[in-house]
Each structure stands twice: as C-alpha cells, then as structure tokens.
Structure 1
Amino acid sequence: MTAVAGAPRKVSVAWRQRTVEVEYTWIAPERAAAPLVVFLHEGLGSVAMWKDFPQRLCEAGGFRGLVFSRPGYGQSSPRAADEVWGVDFMHQQAHEVVPAFLDALGVQGAPWLFGHSDGASIALLFAARFPERARGLVVLAPHLFVEDVTVENIERAKDAYLHTDLAHKLGRYHGDPDSAFWGWNRIWLDPAFRTWNIEAEIAAIRAPALAIQGLDDEYGTLAQIRGIAQQVPGTQLLELPACAHSPHRDQPEAVIAATVAFIAACDQ
C-alpha cells in the first residue's frame, strides 16, 4: 500500500482579512499524470479521522490524493474564541477556503472531489460555483437540506459531548476538539439553519457525480442523494445496505470499487 508522502504539513491561507494554517498531506505525489482526488472531510473530520481510507482508494485506482483539515479541525487553525459560524459556513468553505487552499498549493486543472457529509455538501457547492475546477464528484452522505432526523441526532451528539468521553475521543483527531465540535454543533442546531437548502444551487453542476448513501444513515434519508439526481443529470446513485452515515467506514470495499470504476469510466 502506498504510504502518505511524509507527515502532514501546513500551508498559510488568506481568508477574510486573516491568515489561517491548513493541515494537509499528499498521497503518491510522484504519480504526476494520475487523476488527483481531493478529500473533503465530514463535520467532525480531519486528516487523521480519514485513517487509511484515502491511501486505500488511491492505491486501488492509481490516483494521487490530497487530504486536508478545514480551518477549525484537525491541526489546522482553530476557531477564534469569539468566532461563531453562520448559516453560510459551508458556502464560505466552498467559495473561499477551498479555492484559496488549492491555489496556495499550486493545484492546477480540475481535480476529482471526494466529500463526506458536510464535506460532500462543500464539494457540491464548489463544483457549482467553479465548474472549470471540478473534474467530477464522489459524494458520500451529502446534505442538500436539513431533515428532522439530522437535527435529532446532532442533539444527541451534543448530549454525548457534554456527558460522555466524546471530547477525549475527538482529541485524538483534533488539536482543539472544542473548536471542532462546537463550530459544527451550534450552527446545525441554530433554528436559523433549518431553512438551509442548496438544491437550486447544485443545478449548476456540470461535472459527473456519483452519490453514495447508506440505507441506515442516521443523519439523513435517501432523499438527499436522490435530490442530487433530480438536479444534476446523469448522476449515478449507490444506496448501500448495512451502512450508516459513513459509507467509507461501513462499506469501504464497495465505496472503493464504485469510485474507481466511476472515475475510470469518466476518464476514458
């Protein structure tokens, strides 16, 4: 298996009149001619939280990979003490942070975007805003709109963070787990966020898309990925049994096989 090319590094990214440090790592950068897959993590994810999945996917498909932690996560700059994310936090990431990060690393052309949960929504928003910068999309358990089941389980996550050892567990993956958790949890539970909806925006996507979701997803129904198919013609759907909100953990082989086949078919 190809190893990650060295320990995670950091790059400075200018964002909204300040500078943040973004943690990242390359996978198989020596494959200069291979498709580049950029991994966008979930709402509580990070470089470390992906574990070995990006390496496994890149090895199976012969891809290059770029894995990073968004500001507020992993070893990237944490939120400022008084920073509260707004309803447009995923739009800010897609329209400002991700392109600035790719520019800072000199990424040229149009990479593939592989996103999970919030990261999948950010990937969709990025591809809609910058069609020339997205070769294609693989989105796992994306959010297009807010469902009751999502809010209910995020409420349960808040209770677990306050009353169990969840903060300690997240500390394995984040330099500042409070920054990661409360940035994500507070905005998702903000009543103003209940009207968040990106269905109309993603109709601008021109890249091929593979949308994957588990039949047992505790954070969303199949209406999410089926909504992508309604808005983006040609979207391929993969609905996985015995699979919850993290298909790459619950059904990694199925996700890898589908992704490799999808990218190969699109790049013929």
Structure 2
Amino acid sequence: MTTLADQGLLDLGDETLEYRMIGPRPDRAPTLVLLHEGLGCVAMWNDFPDKLAAATGCGVFVYSRAGYGKSSPVPLPRPIGYMHDEARTSLPRLLDAIGFQRGILVGHSDGASIAAIYAGSHQDHRVRGLVLMAPHFIVEDISVKSIAEAREAYNTGDLRARLAKYHSNVDVAFRGWNDVWLENDFRTWDISEELAYIRVPILIVQGEDDQYGTVRQIEIAQEECYCPVDVALLPGVKHNPAREAADVTLRAVSDFVTRILHGHEASAAA
C-alpha cells in the first residue's frame, strides 16, 4: 500500500498515474474513486472533487488514466476493448495500491463505463455503490456523430489547443479515444451483459440534452440490472453534469453517497 500525499504519481509498474487525494485517506474513511471521461484527467474535474469531499466527509481519490494528463503514455492505436482492459487490469491494481477499503466508484462517460465493467466482472465487496454520469453501455448514432464532430474540431478548430493545457501528450490523449470509436467496428461494443452482474446500488446522472447518448442508456441499465438503479435526469444539461449543473449534480451524488455508505455502516453496526 502506498502512503498517499495530496498529489503525485502512483507507480503501478508498467504505468505511472497522476493523482490527487482530497480529505481523509482510505484507512480513515470511505473513499470515492473518480474515473474521468474519454478526454479528461485530474485537472479537468476542476473543484468538483473538493466539493464532493466536503459534502460527504469521504476521501476523494482522482487520477488520470494512462495516456491522459501527466500519466504515462499508451501505444496507439488502442484496442476496441480498451475500457475492459482498464476495468480488469489497471483499476484493480490501483485500488489495491492506494489501500482502498470501502467506498464508491464515481465515473463520467468512459469512466462510468469502466466502473460498470469493473463492478460487473469483480465481486469486490469494498465497492458499495456506483455513480455513473453520462455512461455508455452501447454505441448510438448520436455518439458516433458527436465524436466525428470532435475530430473536426480537433483538426481544424481550437480543441487541440484547449486540451493541450491539460495533457502532456495531447495527441495520444485525443487519438487514443477518438480513433477507437471512429476507425474500428466499434458498433459491436456492448457492455449490457456486464450490467446483469452488478450487485450494488447505482445512481445514473445524465443530461437530457447529452450529445453523446440518449435516455436509451438509462433504459438499458433499468432493463439489465438486478440491483437498484436511481436516476437523475437533468433538463438543459449536455454531457458533463458535474460542470454544467455542478450544484444539482453535487447534491444528487452526495445524497446517494451518504445514503449508501451511512446506511451500510449503520446496518453493519446493528
């Protein structure tokens, strides 16, 4: 187990991951592990992790996956199963390395899909719940259309310059996400089967105007999951609820976290 500073680099052997740790460490309180979107990193969460720690009393661990932020790069092209690789190889090692004891996985977009795959393929009793913001369980037409528009903005607009402020190797970060979705038979990607094996409560937070996915994603979770699925569908919000509707998202997530973790601890003490 690594003694966690407030921020730094976590050495997992074949990859080095940038991280921030806010609030109590995993041996003192439950931990919320934040998994970022397909173009995200530690810094792109802004102050949401700090507010989440303050609202819940939990420790919040935020990290950049390999290929993002200041973490080590990844070889390109990435395989279609890159999210499965993250969920089945990288995330388990990270949770062990930080001394994760109990808590909730909080994922956004790709990070939400990775969290769902992990919970559906690992019976990890340390994980008491999932918060999935704008998750993908299948590939929709709207997803591919918006990802193609992102490529155009990257190649001809200012998206590359904006992302370069956050990623040490911006081309690896962007192409490692964008090329997989557009240049492979990614339409076959489907993680709905994993949902049936999740055994912890789920909160889905999604914007009604999400340009990367429709309410069909929510319906799939409700159809496939045997666990409770709570939904916060936010009007006027697109793909990033934590940024576009920070207060409402914070309240929904913190209420869920408090209910799940405090309820579990109360029942364990009874």
Same fold flag (TM > 0.5): yes
SS at match of 2:136: coil
TM-score normalised over the length of structure 1: 0.92
Which amino acid in 2 is paired with 1:130?
A: H
Alignment of 1:16-165 (within 5 A): 19-29=14-24, 32-80=27-75, 83-107=76-100, 109-132=101-124, 133-165=126-158
SS at match of 1:185: helix
Which amino acid in 1 is paired with 2:81?
A: D
Which amino acid in 2 is paired with 1:119?
A: G
Q: Which shifted more, 27-36 or 257-266? A: 27-36
Name 1:170's counterpart in structure 2: 163
SS at match of 1:135: strand
Contact 2:143/2:212 (<8 A) preserved: yes
Contact 1:131/1:207 (<8 A) preserved: no
SS at match of 2:191: coil
* Gap regions ≥5 residues in structure 2: 264-270
| Alpha-carbon distance in structure 1 between the residues aligned to 2:26 and 2:187 | 43
Contact 1:125/1:202 (<8 A) preserved: yes
Identity, % of aligned positions? 42
| Alpha-carbon distance in structure 2 between the residues aligned to 1:250 and 1:159 | 23
Contact 1:5/1:28 (<8 A) preserved: no
Which amino acid in 2 is paired with 1:56?
A: K
Name 2:268's counterpart in structure 1: none
Name 2:252's counterpart in structure 1: 258
Q: Evaluate the alpha carbon distance shift between residue 84 and residue 29 of structure 1 in structure 2; reply closer, same or farther with a 3 A threshold.
A: same
Determine if the alignment matches structure 1 residue 234 to structure 2 residue 233: no
Q: Which shifted more, 62-71 or 224-233? A: 224-233
Contact 2:200/2:228 (<8 A) preserved: no
Q: Which shifted more, 242-251 or 37-46? A: 242-251
Q: Evaluate the alpha carbon distance shift between residue 53 and residue 244 of structure 1 in structure 2; reply closer, same or farther with a 3 A threshold.
A: same
Which amino acid in 1 is paired with 2:143?
A: T
SS at match of 1:65: strand
| Alpha-carbon distance in structure 1 between the residues aligned to 2:157 and 2:222 | 39
* Alpha-carbon RMSD: 1.6
Deviations along 1:162-188, one digit per CA (max 9) or x if unpaired, are 101211110111111101000000001
| Aligned match for 1:212, one of 205, 210, 219 | 205
* Gap regions ≥5 residues in structure 1: none
Deviation of 1:197 after TM superposition, in Å, equals 0.3
TM-score normalised over the length of structure 2: 0.91
Q: Evaluate the alpha carbon distance shift between residue 31 and residue 124 of structure 1 in structure 2; reply closer, same or farther with a 3 A threshold.
A: closer
Which amino acid in 1 is paired with 2:110?
A: D
| Alpha-carbon distance in structure 2 between the residues aligned to 1:33 and 1:160 | 44
Deviations along 1:13-37, one digit per CA (max 9) or x if unpaired, are 13xxxx1111111101358543210
SS at match of 2:192: coil
| Alpha-carbon distance in structure 2 between the residues aligned to 1:30 and 1:69 | 18
Contact 1:36/1:65 (<8 A) preserved: yes
Which amino acid in 2 is paired with 1:9?
A: G
Which amino acid in 1 is paired with 2:96?
A: D
Deviation of 1:116 after TM superposition, in Å, equals 0.2
Deviation of 1:135 after TM superposition, in Å, equals 1.2
| Alpha-carbon distance in structure 2 between the residues aligned to 1:187 and 1:111 | 31
| Alpha-carbon distance in structure 1 between the residues aligned to 2:207 and 2:143 | 14
Contact 1:217/1:243 (<8 A) preserved: yes
Determine if the alignment matches structure 1 residue 194 to structure 2 residue 187: yes
| Alpha-carbon distance in structure 2 between the residues aligned to 1:101 and 1:114 | 15
Name 2:10's counterpart in structure 1: 11
